[in-house]
Every structure is written in C-alpha cells, then in structure tokens.
Chain A
Amino acid sequence: MILLETEALTRAYGGVVAVNKVDFEVESGLITGLIGPNGAGKTTLFNNMTGLDNPSSGKVWFNNKEITGYPAHKICRMGIARTFQNIRLFKELTVVENVMIGRHFKTGKSETKGRFLNAVKSYVMLREEEEEIYEKALDWLDFFDMDASKNELAKNLPYGKQRELEVARALATDPKLLFLDEPAAGMNPQETDHLMATIRKIRDLGITVVLIEHDMKLVMNICDTITVLNYGQKLAQGTPHEIKKNPSVIEAYLGKDEE
C-alpha cells in the first residue's frame, strides 16, 4: 500500500528549481531512503511534504487524501512527524517537556472548541491531563533509555542524545509516517549502529520511516527501498542492491569516467 505519494512535485525559488517534477512514493511499513549529493533537493522535498514549504506545482497525497498546501501543524496531526537536519529542540525546556509538547494536540478535551476554558478549568482536571501527558512522554523516553536525564535542559544533552530526543519528540505525536532528516549526521560508528537498531525498532512498531542520509553504510543496511535525487530530479528508485549498481547513480556520486 502506498502511504505517501507526490505527483510531479516542483519547488522553484525564483529561477532555481530545487525540486523538479518529482514522483516520490512511500510504501507503508517499509524504510525508505532518500539519497543524493548535496543540494539535490532532499530537504526541500521533505519540507514540501511536511507543510513547512509549499510546492510551486504538483501534488502530495497521504493516505489517499490530498494534503498539498496544508499547514505543518495539520499535517502533523494527520500522522506525519519529522526531525530536522540541524537539530531543532526546545533548548530551554527540559527533556521530558520536549516530549510532552509532542503530545500537545493529542490532549485537550476537544480538538476545536472549549480548549481555552479547559485550560482554566479546575485544578484536578488539569492535573489529570498533565499526568496523562507526562506518563506518555516518559514511555517514549524509556524507549530511548533516556529516563535518567528527563529533568535536564535539552540544550545540556550530549549531541547524540539530542538527536535521539528529537526522534522521541516526533514519535510522541503517534505518527504513521516518520521523516528523519540526516539522523546519523555527526555520529560516531557506534552511535550509528545504535541508531540503525533504533530505526528498525521504530519500523517494528508499525511506523513507516523515510530517511535522508549520507552515511551509505546505514542507508544500504536498513533501507528496503531507496530513491535517488540529483539536481532536483529523481534519478533512480529501487532496492539497495539495484541502486548500488545503477550507472547513473554512480555517475552522480563519483562523476563520469572521461576517456
């Protein structure tokens, strides 16, 4: 089943076409890799699918529903969560508060009305709701073995932990689809191995994962299918094995053999 699909998605900034008529699809339940040289338009594609940026033309479908041009918070509420290439944590908040924010839209007695009055309501109600959010957040911290640092400020965590916290925060929104933008950037080999295990664990929870990554060992190891972008265009799509052998992919990465 196709969970997410883009149809001729294009994003141009003036004359620069960052993403050019890309048909990208994500199969439900799999780990999809999105690779390509720097500036190929991977992050732009991510941003256009998660509502942080709007495509110049083309369409995005999620779960058989068109979501083109939806605001980011709506897309998140529909079940797409993401992390960022340059970590975007709520730095001055504690670790557990960061994850609790992921639970934000899941709570509040109604989605559209009375939320304001809810907030001012009785002390007991407030506490019950807080307790519920807190417990859920702790569950996710437990998933990443981070309970011990729950009361630390996010900015004081070591780099690798900050990356994991971002994933925990995204997972707290109960997504169907998780976008990871260079999750292994700046990690040492041990941390990368650990990350691979974690991503597999996430997939086993029934969450579809899409990741942008430059670490080929990681990509080739855990991705079920890979899409390659180059100069904003889709270059290839296939299993890791097929991608490794694809001559145009090799050319994009290593250059053409001039004879």
Chain B
Amino acid sequence: MLNFFLLILIYSGIYALMAIGQNVITGYGGMLSLTQAGFFAIGSYATAILTTQAGWSFWATLPVAFLISALFGLAIGLPTLRLKGDYLAIATLGFGEIVRNVLNNWDSLTNGPMGIQRIPMPVILGYTINPYKKYAFLVMVIVFVIIAYILFQRLARSRMGRALAAVREDEIAAQSMGINITKYKVYAFILGASVAGIAGSLQAAFTLSVTPGTYTFMVSVMVLCMVVLGGMGNFKASILGAFIIQFISYFPQLTGLSSVIPPQFKQILFGLILVVMMIWRPQGILGREATRYRKRAVSTTGGEQ
C-alpha cells in the first residue's frame, strides 16, 4: 500500500515534468499541442538505447535525451507555426503517433514491440538508485521537478514569459510591438519538448524497460488534462494537476477495487472532471499565476475564458 503510494508519487513527478513543458506551450504560449507523448518516448528511447547498446551511464544520456527532444521540438514547431487551435492539435497529434510507429517498426534500433529490457539503474557517487527501493528514486524525481520548476518559473517571470503572454493574447499586436512571434513560438515548443525528454529518461530508468505501448496518445491527453485541471499558466498548478490525475488513474488499484472498477473508469472520470471544471472553474484549480503586477486583478475577474 505504502509502496503503491510511492509509485504514484514517482509517476506524478515524471508526469509533472511533462506537464511543466505542456504549460509553457499551452499555458503561456496559448498553443494547443498534443505532442508530449512523442517527446516522452524519444527521451526514454535515447536513454534506453544509449545505456544498453553503447554502455553509457544514465547521467550521460540525460543531455542527449534533452537535446534530441529539443531538436524534435524545433522540427515540430517550425512547420506547425501557422496553425492555430484545433488544427494545431490535429497536426501535433500525428507526431506522437509517428514516433510510436517508428519505435514499433525500427527493429534494428528499438527492438520493435518487444522493446528494450535490462536498462541499467542510475548510479550516483557509487550509490545505485534502485527503482525497487522507491524512496531513493522518489527523491531523485523530486529533485528534477524542483530544478525544472525553478528554471521555468524564472523564465516565465522574465521578459520572455511576458513576450509569450503577448503572443498568446494577440499575435498581430505582439508583432507590432517588436516581438518576433515565430521565434517565441518555436522557443516554447523546444522548451516544452526538452523537459518531456528528460521525463522520458527518468521513466526509462524507473521501469528499466521500454516498450512502444507505453507512449500512447493517452499520455499526451493526460498531460494536457493535468495542465487544464491545475490551471493554465501556472507551474505549481501543473505539478498539482499531475498529482491529482495520477492519483485518480491509480485509484482503483490503490483502494483494491480494481476487480470492481474497470480500467476504462479513469477515462470516464477524466472526461467528467474536465467538463465539471469547464463549467465551474474554467481557469483551473489554482488559476493563472498572479504576477506582481496583478496581485488582485485576476481574482476579481473570475474566469479567463
């Protein structure tokens, strides 16, 4: 039971990283993207392949996972820039599926649907972070989440965060204020992708095996739900959303009711939560983060929509 709870916390942390990335793209940049599963898979496979086939250590694969995901973020960001709203969602949705299909079929590199097993455990200063002893792994994940949170928070409060907000609010006006909107949209994609890549590395190190079946479209949807549920444009909220959604999806197992409640239950519940949120609290549980320039303003006006 406690062990299971720790597992939920670890997954919450891994997904929180992805949600932080999604929040940059959707919460700040205002772009509805459904790519996180793709970048997550790329990060996982980068770590899996490099550790098992090239004998690298887990830590050395992190920057590689980061860079490859960032590169794919750039590759996705550039051509989809002109698209907005649901069109962008459809275009980006395809990307995740392409990644999964490539992983499924590129047997020589990814071992196809069988996936890659026996990924070595991360070692730090001679201490092995064994995922079966969950405490150490949980600490590692929490450290990653905290670092990501601090970096992204800093970024959001800088001029870049404001530029992204301007692009979200009105692209034409932002352009006319000297903001290179193409650049900032691509930045948002690259940042969101790279942090999801890191999440993928952690996932590989936690499960010690990767199979394409893990990285389905459902992952992207869950991450989007986390951001919407917590509150767009608020990194704390993304982390909170990640925890709540993970908790809900493991709820049947946690309470020992998995024989009574079918696994489809969680999809129904996600849908229900989103509908309820859209009706009563469209800005999410925590709402957009109040910067120092609008301490009161947001709370007095209610919804963001």
Contact = CB atoms under 8 A, between A and B. Distances in A.
A50 B154 CA distance: 33
B159 A107 contact: yes
Contact of A119 (B160, B165, B295): B160
B158 A126 contact: yes
A153 B301 contact: yes
Chain B binding surface, main DSSP class: helix
Given A73-B179, A104-B162, A151 B173 contact: no
Contact of B159 (A82, A88, A104, A120): A104
A94 B297 contact: yes
Contacts of B181: 73
Interface stretch (A57-65, A95-103, A233-241): A95-103
A108 interface: yes
Interface in A61-90: 71-73, 76-77, 81-82, 84, 88-90
Interface in A94-128: 94, 96-97, 100-102, 104-105, 107-108, 115-116, 118-120, 123, 126
B133 interface: no
Given A93-B169, A104-B163, A126-B158, A116 B291 contact: no
A76 B304 CA distance: 29
Given A129-B159, A153-B298, A73 B178 contact: yes
B166 interface: yes
Contacts of A150: 293
Interface in B225-253: none
Given A76-B178, A104-B179, A119 B294 contact: no
Contacts of B169: 89-93
A151 B181 CA distance: 25
Contacts of A44: none
Contact of A101 (B157, B162, B187, B298): B162
Interface string A136-155: 00000000000000111100
A77 B294 CA distance: 28
A84 B181 CA distance: 18
Nearest to B169: A90
A169 B178 CA distance: 11
Given A88-B170, A126-B158, A81 B293 contact: no
Interface string A167-185: 0011001000000000000
Given A97-B291, A107-B159, A133-B159, A81 B296 contact: no
B282 to A, nearest CB: 13
Contact of A156 (B157, B179, B301): B301
Chain A CB within 10 Å — which of B166, B174, B177, B296 has the most?
Answer: B177
Contact of A76 (B155, B158, B166, B177): B177
A101 B154 contact: no
Nearest to B165: A93
Given A91-B169, A151-B294, A71 B175 contact: yes
B27 to A, nearest CB: 12
Contacts of B173: 84, 88-90
Given A151-B293, A151-B297, A73 B155 contact: no
A123 B178 contact: no
Contacts of A151: 293-297
Nearest to B175: A72
B268 interface: no
A153 B293 CA distance: 10
B124 interface: no
Chain A CB within 10 Å — which of B166, B180, B293, B298 has the most?
Answer: B293
B114 interface: no
B176 interface: yes
A207 to B, nearest CB: 16
B151 interface: yes
Contact of B154 (A71, A88, A123, A153): A123
Contacts of A134: 293
B172 interface: yes
A3 interface: no
A17 interface: no
Contacts of A90: 165-166, 169-170, 173-174
A153 B294 contact: yes
A116 B159 contact: no
22 contacts: A72-B175, A72-B176, A77-B178, A89-B169, A90-B174, A92-B165, A92-B169, A93-B294, A94-B294, A100-B293, A105-B179, A107-B159, A108-B159, A119-B154, A119-B158, A119-B159, A120-B154, A129-B159, A130-B159, A150-B293, A153-B301, A156-B297
Interface of A: 50-52, 71-73, 76-77, 81-82, 84, 88-94, 96-97, 100-102, 104-105, 107-108, 115-116, 118-120, 123, 126, 129-130, 133-134, 150-153, 156, 169-170, 173
Given A73-B181, A151-B297, A153-B298, 13 more contacts: A50-B176, A73-B175, A81-B176, A84-B173, A94-B293, A96-B293, A101-B162, A102-B177, A116-B187, A129-B159, A130-B159, A152-B297, A173-B177
The 3 A-B residue pairs with the shortest CB-CB distance in the complex, in nearest-first order? A105-B178, A90-B169, A76-B178
